[in-house]
């Protein structure tokens, strides 16, 4: 995907199981993108690690499909680009001071989860990768059931929240801006912008890694986006995948 500032076009879909699944179907059929797929009603949304992602009526469920020649590890940095774009979307409707980002890619509103980002990819027959960047945002309401505290835009607004068709235009423009930064200046510029909005850096946290649980202090991002975790014995541990909890909630 080039660093052009023009947002990718948006295709609005009615009832759909999953916008990421639709992006995969299109990619495997040869579509290269870039294109945003907006689902007005999503019945089978997914989050990280196979978790269900509930998309209530009026919430945003969208996926950006694009192609890249970047190697997989570098292409995965797009999750930080997407998080910055979601932060800009939120800040268009609520005070920016309420918006933060929790590693690896959880946009928060007043410290509560308000959005989910899921990046998937696959090889293209012609070479390179297709990338699907799924974004869910609680524009209208939070989930009925959630394993951790969540919120939605109306809890922090006086005016009615934006409709998905409005929010996707804001998100697409913000993503195009941050993608341009990524392409021109590389990941360090993205990491700096992400760190400026980071939630919990310098604070104690618990990291769950499947069968292993670690405790330490979140120090910041490594050069490739991994979380630097300082353990109690002074050792530094690089976390490339896992769930991070602050404030004793694990």
Which two structure tokens, joined as six digits, stand for 143? Answer: 């989930």
User: 212 with 190, same domain?
Assistant: no
User: 183 with 226, same domain?
Assistant: no
Residue 145 confidence (pLDDT): 64
- Is residue 1 assigned to a domain? no
5, pLDDT greater than 80: no
User: 98 with 15, same domain?
Assistant: yes
User: 178 with 223, same domain?
Assistant: no
97, pLDDT greater than 90: yes
pLDDT in tens, 121-162: 999 988 999 999 999 999 999 876 666 789 999 999 999 999
CATH of residue 239's domain is 2.30.30.100
User: 134 with 214, same domain?
Assistant: no
232, pLDDT greater than 80: yes
> Domain ends where: 162, 178, 196?
196
User: 185 with 130, same domain?
Assistant: yes
Burial class (CB in 10 A: 0-12, 13-18, 19+), 105: buried
Full domain range(s) for residue 154: 10-196
Task: Give the chain as a 3 state SS string.
Answer: CCCCCCCCCEEEEEEECCHHHHHHHHHHCCCCCCEEEEEEEECCCECHHHCECCCCCCCEEEEEEEEECCCHHHHCCHHHHHHHHHHHHHHCCCCHHHEEEECCCEEEECCEECEEEEEEEEECCCCCEEEEEEEEECCCCCCCCCCCCECCHHHHCCCCCCCHHHHHHHHHHHHHHHHHHHHHHCHHHHHHHHHHCECCCCCEEEEEECCEEEEEEEEEECCCCCEEEEECCCCEEEECCCEEEECCCC
- Is residue 4 assigned to a domain? no
- Is residue 3 assigned to a domain? no
CA-CA distances (angstroms) from residue 142 to 53, 70, 130, 138, 153? Answer: 11, 35, 31, 6, 9
| Distance between start and end Cα atoms, the chain | 37
User: 231 with 117, same domain?
Assistant: no
User: 152 with 216, same domain?
Assistant: no
Count up the domains in the chain and report the number: 2
| pLDDT band with cut points at 50, 70 and 90 for residue 116 | very high
| Residue 233 CB coordination number (10 Å) | 6
User: 78 with 37, same domain?
Assistant: yes
| pLDDT band with cut points at 50, 70 and 90 for residue 57 | confident
- Is residue 21 assigned to a domain? yes
User: 92 with 148, same domain?
Assistant: yes
Residue 3 confidence (pLDDT): 42
């Amino acid at each position: 995907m080039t660093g052009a500032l023009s947002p990718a076009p948006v295709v609005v879909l009615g009832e759909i199981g999953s916008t990421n699944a639709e992006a995969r179907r299109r990619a495997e059929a040869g579509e290269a993108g870039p294109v945003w797929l907006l689902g007005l009603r999503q019945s089978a949304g997914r989050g990280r690690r196979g978790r269900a992602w509930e998309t209530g009526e009026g919430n945003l469920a969208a996926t950006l499909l694009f192609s890249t020649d970047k190697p997989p590890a570098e292409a995965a940095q797009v999750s930080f680009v997407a998080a910055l774009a979601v932060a800009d979307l939120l800040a268009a409707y609520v005070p920016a001071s309420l918006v933060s980002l929790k590693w690896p890619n959880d946009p928060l509103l007043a410290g509560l989860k308000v959005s989910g980002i899921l990046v998937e990819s696959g090889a293209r027959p012609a070479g390179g990768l297709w990338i699907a960047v799924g974004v869910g945002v609680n524009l209208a309401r939070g989930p009925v059931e959630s394993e951790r505290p969540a919120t939605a835009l109306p809890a922090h607004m006086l005016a009615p929240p934006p409709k998905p068709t409005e929010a996707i235009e804001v998100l697409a423009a913000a993503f195009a801006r941050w993608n341009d930064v990524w392409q021109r200046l590389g990941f360090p510029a993205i990491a700096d912008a992400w760190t400026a909005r980071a939630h919990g850096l310098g604070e104690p946290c618990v990291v769950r890694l499947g069968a292993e649980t670690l405790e330490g202090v979140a120090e910041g991002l490594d050069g490739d986006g991994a979380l630097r975790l300082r353990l109690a014995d002074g050792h530094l541990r690089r976390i490339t995948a896992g769930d991070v909890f602050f404030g004793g909630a694990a």
